[in-house]
Amino acid sequence: MKVLITDKINESAKDIIGDAAICDFLPTMSEDELVQKIGEYDALMVRSQTKVTKKIIEAGKSLKIIGRAGVGVDNIDLETATKCGIIVVNSPDGNTHAAAEHTVAMMLSLSRNIPQAYETIKQGLWERSKFTGVEVFGKTLGVIGFGKIGQHVAKVAQALGMNIVVYDPYTTKELVENLCAFYCSTLDEFWGQCDYISIHTPKTKETISLINKNTINRMKKGVKIINCARGGIIDEAALCEAIKEGQVSGAAIDVFENEPDIKSSPLFGCVDKCVLTPHLGASTSEAQINVAVDVAKQIREVLLGGEAKSAVNLPQMKPEKLEPVKDYMGLAQNISQMASQIASGNIQSVEITVMGELAQVDATPIEIAVLKGVFDYRVGSVNYVNAPLIAKERGIKVTTIKSNQNVPSCGVITVKIITSENETIVRGAMLAKDIYRITKINNFSTSIMPDSNMLLIPHENKPSMVAKVAQIIGEKGININSMQVNNDTKSQNNESIMILNVPCEVKDDVIQKLNQIDGVKSSKYIKLSV
C-alpha cells in the first residue's frame, strides 16, 4: 500500500505509517499533476495548502482515507469523498493548547505594547514612557464561543486574576458557572461588560461580521478585541474606524478576511494600535507534531483494517446498526436543521422521539444525525462523529425516546429543542422508501417535502395574506415552487403558517419586508441540506 503526502508535515508521520505502507512526499503539486498521480495511492495526507477537489478524489480509485493534519477540513470536498466511500479524518484536539496560548499571548502583548516597544529597541531607541501599558488583573474578559479553546483561555485568564463573562448559544448556564464564569444569555447583555473580548467561534452564517459597527458601538468604550479564530467574524473596516475614533483601544488579530493578502486589510492602516500575526494560532512545534502523529495513526489504522477515531464524514458504527435506519438519516438531519433554525435562545436540551418501525431498532444513528442537524449552520465543522461531543461539551441534555404508538407510515421522528426562551417541535415521517415529509411544525400539522430553501411565515388567518407575501416574493424575482397554508387547530388565536419552497436563498432584506406585513409574525428563512 502507498500513502501520498503533499504538504509539509512532521517527519514522525512517515515513521508511524512506515510499517503499514510506503510513504511518498511530493509537495507543491498542481491539481492536474495530483489527478495524474493519485490513482496509485491508498491514502492521501495533507495540511491546508493542498485543495483536495472533486476531480482529485474521483481520480483516486484506490483511495481509502484522506487525512488532514489539523482541525479544519474546508480544503477537502467532503461530499465527494463520502459518495466515493473515502474516509476523511482530522485532528480536532491537536492544536487546542497552541491556539489558546496564542490568544493569551496576543492579549498580553496588546496590553503591554510589546511588539511596538520591541521595534523601537531594534532601532536603538529607549522610549520607555511611550509604551505604558495596562494590567489584565481585575479586568473582565468576554469569551464568545465556549468550546475547548474558549474554556482553556478562560481558565488561564482566571489564573491571571481576570473576571470571565461568556456568550455561547450552545453552552448551558450550568457549564459556564461550574467554571466560575458569568453566563450571558444575550449579546446585548454581554457587550457592555467587557474590557477585553476574545472570539472562539467558527465562521458561520450567524457569525460573519459578528463584530461590526453596530455591535462595536454597544461595547464599553476602550475595549480591546482579540481574534485568533477565523477571519471574517470581524468587519475589519469597522474595527479600524473604531480604533481610530477611540471606541476600541486596540486589537490583537491572527486571522483575516483575505489571507495571505494582509495589505488588503484595513487593519494594515492602524498597526500602531494593533498586534497582527500571520495565522499562527496552531503554529507550534508541539501542535504540528501532535496533529501529524494523530492523523498518521488513523491512516495506519484504516490501512490495516481498523477504524479511524476522528472521521468527519462517516459515522463510526457497525454496518448492521446503520442498515435498518440509513434511509431515515436524511430526514432526521433535515427536521433537526429546521428546528434549530426556528428555535431562539440558548439550547438546553434536545429530545428525540422515534415511532413506527424505528421504535424496534437501535436509534443511535438517528440521534447522531439529529445532533448534526441541530448544529449545522451554527457551530461549523460539525459532523457525525463530533456532534455528540459538541453537545456534551456545551452541557446540552440529549434524550431519545422510543414510542410504541401506531403510526400510518413507515417511521416517524420528532425533534423537540428546549431553549432558555421557548421550545420548538418539528416532526417528519417516512411515507414510503425515499419519500418523506415534514408533518408538524410546533402546533401546525403539515405535509410538505423538505427543500434546500424554505420560508416559514406565521401569520394571522385573514384575507389577502397569501397575495401580499406573493407580491413581495415576486418583486424580488423569487419563484415559488410550492406552498402550503396550515391552521393552528389547537389554538383560539386564529393563527396560520405559510410554508414556501423556493429555488434560491432568501436574503435578510426580503425577510424584513415580509415581517412588515400587518399580521405576519417573525418570518424565517430555513436552509436544509436535503
State the catalytic residue, choosing from 230, 300, 378, 459.
230
What number of residues does the chain have?
530
Active site residue 200: no
Active site residue 236: no
How far apart are the two ends of the chain, measured CA to CA in Å? 36
Report helix, strand or coil for 311.
Answer: strand
What span, in angstroms and rounded, lies between the C-alpha atoms of 67 and 294? Answer: 10
State the catalytic residue, choosing from 279, 300, 394, 459.
279
State the catalytic residue, choosing from 79, 259, 421, 505.
259
pLDDT tens, the chain, 530 aa long: 999 999 888 888 888 998 889 999 988 889 999 999 999 999 999 988 899 999 999 999 999 899 999 877 878 998 788 767 688 999 888 888 999 999 999 999 999 999 999 999 999 999 999 999 999 999 999 999 998 899 999 999 999 999 999 999 888 888 999 998 999 999 999 999 999 999 998 888 888 999 999 999 999 999 999 999 989 999 999 999 999 999 999 999 999 999 888 999 999 888 889 999 999 998 898 988 999 999 999 999 888 877 788 888 765 555 566 678 888 988 999 999 999 999 988 899 999 999 998 988 888 889 989 998 999 877 766 777 678 878 888 889 999 999 988 887 789 999 999 998 889 999 999 988 778 899 999 989 999 999 999 999 999 988 899 999 999 999 999 999 999 998 876 666 788 999 999 999 999 999 999 999 999 988 999 999 88
The conformation of residue 220, written as its DSSP 8-state character, comes to P
Lookup: cell for 95: 492544536
* Cis peptide preceding 319, ω within 30 of 0: no
Lookup: cell for 346: 440558548
- Domains of the chain as residue ranges with CATH: 2-93+286-303 (3.40.50.720), 96-276 (3.40.50.720), 315-442 (3.30.1330.90), 454-525 (3.30.70.260)
Sign of CA dihedral 209, 214, 217, 218: negative
What span, in angstroms and rounded, lies between the C-alpha atoms of 365 and 317? Answer: 8
pTM of the model: 0.67
Q: Judge whether 226 and 197 are in contact, CB under 8 Å.
A: yes
What span, in angstroms and rounded, lies between the C-alpha atoms of 183 and 189? Answer: 10
The conformation of residue 171, written as its DSSP 8-state character, comes to S
Closest CA to 197 of 115, 121, 123, 106: 106
What span, in angstroms and rounded, lies between the C-alpha atoms of 91 and 309? Answer: 9
Active site residue 279: yes
Task: Name the residue with cell 505594547.
Answer: 113
pLDDT given for residue 338 in this prediction: 96
